[in-house]
Amino acid sequence: MTSSLFDLTGMRALITGSGQGIGLALAEGLAQHGAEIVLNGRSATKIEAAAETLVAKGYKARSAVFDVTDHAAVAEGVAEVEATVGAIDILINNAGMQFRTPLEDFPADKWDELLRTNISSVFFVGQAVARHMIARKRGKIINIASVQSELARPNIAPYTATKGAVRNLTRGMCADWAKHGLQVNGIAPGYFKTPLNQALVDNPEFSTWLTNRTPAGRWGDVGELIGAAVFLAGPASSFVNGHTLYVDGGITTCL
């Protein structure tokens, strides 16, 4: 039996960027603990297929297709979910992208795209959902940060900048919205086997470096993020606010 501290029955979660990888894993994890899931992405085909996969497993899931980098589309999309599906109790801002190249060669258009996808989307969706949560005096927002919120590595400086911003925006959201009954926290994954990281997973040199650098000595599995998400989404974290939880196998503890 699920402890009441981790029971999400009767709660509804909107998860951005949830057609695959971490977003889809978190969606299924929250569904396992009783939450109804609203999957979000730009591709109707991918998001609807992901929702059908969850429904086939016996979970309550549906899709909401809108572009999280478009402020107007976000406002319209969130309003539609609230009006036609029901109140959003939990928001996980997971949408993100990566682009790797030396900083001196980094294209300006990719810089702009990273900012829109990795940080503007967190503000757009967070603000739109929070307005409804504030009116209800309750709500959980979880922003997906990264070990790159704390660390840097060659060729991903703009990504590092966006994830550092996610960590501090999480703090700022807490400062503004905790008084309204919201808990806003972050999860900072380490190196996980996801489609976003597939090129690194397939690179023997990088994988060797990573396993030597990480105290746990391995890549993470996306299922290992579920516990952190359930904790921050449920009653157990009622007095946890403005915190970023690193789930990284210990990599941020070592030089």
The tokens 């996808």 sit on which residue?
117
Rounded Cα distance between 120 and 197, Å, is 22
159 in catalytic set: yes
Rounded Cα distance between 210 and 200, Å, is 10
E strands in the chain: 12-15, 36-41, 61-65, 90-93, 139-144, 182-189, 244-247
Rounded Cα distance between 191 and 197, Å, is 8
Pairing of strands 12-15, 182-189: unpaired
Q: Catalytic one among 59, 159, 191, 246?
A: 159
User: Distances from the Cα of 225 to the Cαs of 47, 102, 156, 193, 212, in angstroms?
Assistant: 20, 30, 23, 12, 21
Q: Which residues pair with 187 in a beta bridge?
A: 144, 245
Rg (C-alpha) for the chain, rounded Å, is 17
- Distant-in-sequence contacts of 160-167, Cβ < 8 A, 24+ apart: 162/114, 162/115, 162/118, 162/119, 163/118, 163/188, 165/118, 165/119, 166/93, 166/118, 166/119, 166/122, 167/244
Q: Which residues are catalytic?
A: 159
